[in-house]
Amino acid sequence: MTERENALEIIRFGHPEKIVWHIPEYNLTYLGCNHESFDGVSDSAPAGTRWKDIWGTGWHKEADGYMGLPEEYPLDEPEKLKDYRWPDPADERIVGQTYRLREQFVEGSDVFLNARHRDTLWEKAYMLVGMENMMVYFYTEPEFAKEVLGRIMDFQLGIAKMYVENGAEVVRLADDLGGQTSLLMSRGMIEEFLVPEYRRLIEFYKKHNVIIEFHSCGCIESIVDLFMDLGVDVLNPLQASANNLQKIREQTDGKMCLRGGISTALIANGTPEEIEADVKQKIRMLGKNGGYFCSPDQKIPWTDENYKAFRDALDRWGRYPLF
């Protein structure tokens, strides 16, 4: 069984040979997907760098090894909307990168063409408006909030059409909707403001048979059913410290694939024996019927020794039939 075939069997709750840590992929992105400016400054810049991305959001890179933080918001006041220039998803400066990446892809590779929509909707909105401002405007200026969200999704749909033209097979959407103990906003807010826009994008991809992976950090167990209703195929990262993973597996078993669940704090600070025990336990809990990619629930620095312990444990315990 090839790596592609094995991944599809995982996603479809079929008969994979082994549990792996992610969908094998070759990534397509556009300029601005990772907070780039039109001249290419991005999160990879040295600490202390300030720049504006293609949306006009001002960024500050405070520490090496981490993404920058937004500090200047072009739509922090509703009256600024009338003069704001939205980025054009057909702009060659934005999409030229995607076409160049596609040309470098080796046809017949045992990976999927994976397209990315980082900061898909909610996160892009607060990067334009400011998080506190956006929370307030949901109540005080709901039409403004919906206009911003709709225009963001118009852009994402333009990018989606370009990705499909380039043969995208998997797409990764991303919006962190949870805090450590609860959602960042009410379920009602998510259903009213975000779900209709997510549905526009996901339905487009579904019409083109593209696999949907959705990344949402934090405590999101109370909206797992919304992800399933939207048609999400793979949900990540299953933050172990913020969710009841057994409850999520029972709700999604046979319906939606899961990815993550391994505590990054444990990989960073635990012993190899503790890491192996956690991997073994999560495989038993989440992967016995397929539908599970076993991976860390965040990406922070860890030692080579501990990361090797994770990969060795996955290789040892993640082969079907399971122990």
Q: Check residue 58 and give its pLDDT.
A: 98
Reply yes or no on whether the pLDDT at 85 is more than 90. Answer: yes
Reply yes or no on whether the pLDDT at 300 is more than 90. Answer: no
Q: What is the rounded distance in angstroms from the CA atom of residue 73 to the CA atom of residue 80? A: 10
Please give the C-alpha separations between residue 150 and each of 32, 94, 134, 280, 281, in angstroms, as whole numbers: 19, 20, 14, 43, 42
Average pLDDT over residues 184-194: 97
Q: Check residue 182 and give its pLDDT.
A: 97
Name the least confident of 16-25, 58-67, 172-181, 255-264. Answer: 58-67
Q: What is the rounded distance in angstroms from the CA atom of residue 183 to the CA atom of residue 178? A: 4
Average pLDDT over residues 108-132: 98
Two tokens at 114?
A: 């994976």
Whole-number percent of the chain with pLDDT over 70? 100
Q: Average pLDDT of the chain?
A: 97
Confidence of residue 298 (pLDDT cuts 50, 70, 90): confident
Q: Check residue 127 and give its pLDDT.
A: 98
Residue entry with tokens 């934090």:
218
Q: Check residue 66 and give its pLDDT.
A: 85
Whole-number percent of the chain with pLDDT over 90? 97
Average pLDDT over residues 154-161: 98
Two tokens at 258?
A: 């899961």
Q: Dmax over Cα atoms in the chain, in whole Å?
A: 61
Q: Check residue 41 and give its pLDDT.
A: 97
Average pLDDT over residues 107-123: 97
Average pLDDT over residues 81-107: 97
Report the predicted TM-score, pTM, of the whole model to 2 decimal places: 0.97
Q: Check residue 302 and give its pLDDT.
A: 86
* Residue 235, beta-bridge partner list: 214, 258
- Hey, what amino acid is at 121? L
Order the strands of the 112-117 sheet from edge to edge.
Answer: 25-28, 112-117, 170-174, 211-215, 234-236, 257-262, 292-296
Cβ contacts of residue 132 below 8 Å, gap of 6+? none
The end-to-end CA distance of the chain, in Å, is 21
Average pLDDT over residues 33-37: 97
Q: Check residue 61 and give its pLDDT.
A: 96
Q: Check residue 286 and give its pLDDT.
A: 98
**Residue 82 CB neighbours (<10 A):** 6
Cβ contacts of residue 148 below 8 Å, gap of 6+? 75, 81, 125, 128, 129, 134
Reply yes or no on whether the pLDDT at 65 is more than 90. Answer: no
- Hey, what amino acid is at 264? T
